[in-house]
Amino acid sequence: MNNRMLILIFSLLFIVTLSLFISGCSQIGITNPALKIAIAVPLSGEFSQIGEEERNGALLAIEDANADGGALGRKFELVQMDDKGDPVESAVIAQKISADPSILGVVGGANAGDTMLSAQIYAKNNLVMVTPSTTSTELTSKGYYSVFRVCASDASEGPYAANFIVSNLKFKRAAIIEDNSAYAKELTGSFKSEFMKLGGTILAEEKISQGDKDFKAPLEKIKVLNPEVVYFAGMYPECAQIVKEAKEMEIKSIFFGVNGIKDTEFIKVAGIASEGTMATSVGFSLNKLPKGSDFIQRYRNAFKKDPTDYSVFAYDATLSIIDAIKLSGKPDRANLANAMHNLKFDGILGSTSFDKEGNTSNNLVNVYVVKNGSWKSVN
């Protein structure tokens, strides 16, 4: 065999070996496309603080999954979408995401207003959507097969607040302020029903709107009635201004809000007036959860600040999709939706699964109070 023939044989062997190597690399995700999960939350606008916290939680879940080897020989990628907390923008984004077959699932939205219409679009396209923080019972009452939530619903939070106020605070005279949103109306309804069932009296019900800046008129009515507690259903920008004005008016009532106010931004805006404000929030104090302390440290390392409830729920929402992709065995939307209904995963919030309507089995609700400039767990 001459030298030319030997060179030809070795060249062919080299090419075959190289092709096998490249093929192997493809199977472990070097050339394979990423497994894409989108997050659609407000990254700008009035509720951008919530959106950023949820985006950070999702990013950390993606980072952890990739450090663990990804899935199906691929890495995960988070596609970030800013819905601005606006229902119309949310619907436009839902159409865009649904039209992209490379996106397997969606984390979002943050509030009921920017979730209801988009959820209908995702469901129509059999695209899995897991919301970290939309608590409206309406979301999972439509029979959407691919829509899920990792937080407790308003059906749990409103009555929990009523029971705490009557049983723990021993208050039975309340006034209500709500921001007239679907989110607030549902919470107010479930709170009011349980509060009255427990022997409580509603002295007044005042309605405001998101974006309002002056609350003197409803607060003057409430001051005359002197309720023991004012139950606020809405979001933190309005509640922060309300408690500031109430303090200036020397209203002595305890203000008790919903998960929409339990945010560090509420304390920043309200300042010293926030002290003593109470709120329910879905979930539980991180320090009391087995994986909580580790999550806090890793979040601090990644983002140079402490996580919020929104961060935790977004982490678990993203993790549920990641684990369902692994369970499904193939990157396919229909298989993923089926896998979500058979999923049981171990997240920061503990062991979680979903019922046939898409509600979480982890219906955790906790009460917090602002003390020395931060939210502290009460129970």
In this prediction, residue 152 has a pLDDT band, given cuts at 50, 70 and 90, of: confident
Mean pLDDT of 72-95: 96
In this prediction, residue 87 has a pLDDT band, given cuts at 50, 70 and 90, of: very high
In this prediction, residue 129 has a pLDDT band, given cuts at 50, 70 and 90, of: very high
H or E element in which residue 258 lies? none
For residues 83 and 314, give the distance between their C-alpha atoms in angstroms, rounded to a whole number: 16
As given in the structure block, the two tokens for residue 242 are 């309300």
Which of 48-62, 138-152, 282-296 has the lowest average pLDDT?
282-296
In this prediction, residue 284 has a pLDDT band, given cuts at 50, 70 and 90, of: confident
- Determine the pLDDT at residue 111: 84
Mean pLDDT of 335-352: 95
pLDDT beyond 70 at 21: no
Q: What's the residue count for the chain?
A: 379
- Enumerate domains of the chain plus CATH numbers: 35-152+288-363 (3.40.50.2300), 155-282 (3.40.50.2300)
Q: Which long-range contacts (CB under 8 A, 24 or more apart) does 179-182 make?
A: 179/207, 179/208, 179/209, 179/210, 179/233, 179/234, 179/235, 179/238, 180/207, 180/208, 180/209, 180/210, 181/112, 181/113, 181/210, 181/234, 182/112, 182/113, 182/116, 182/136, 182/138
Buried b (16+ CB within 10 A) or exposed e, 90-117: bbbbbeebbeeeebbbbbbbbbbbbbbe
For residues 83 and 132, give the distance between their C-alpha atoms in angstroms, rounded to a whole number: 15
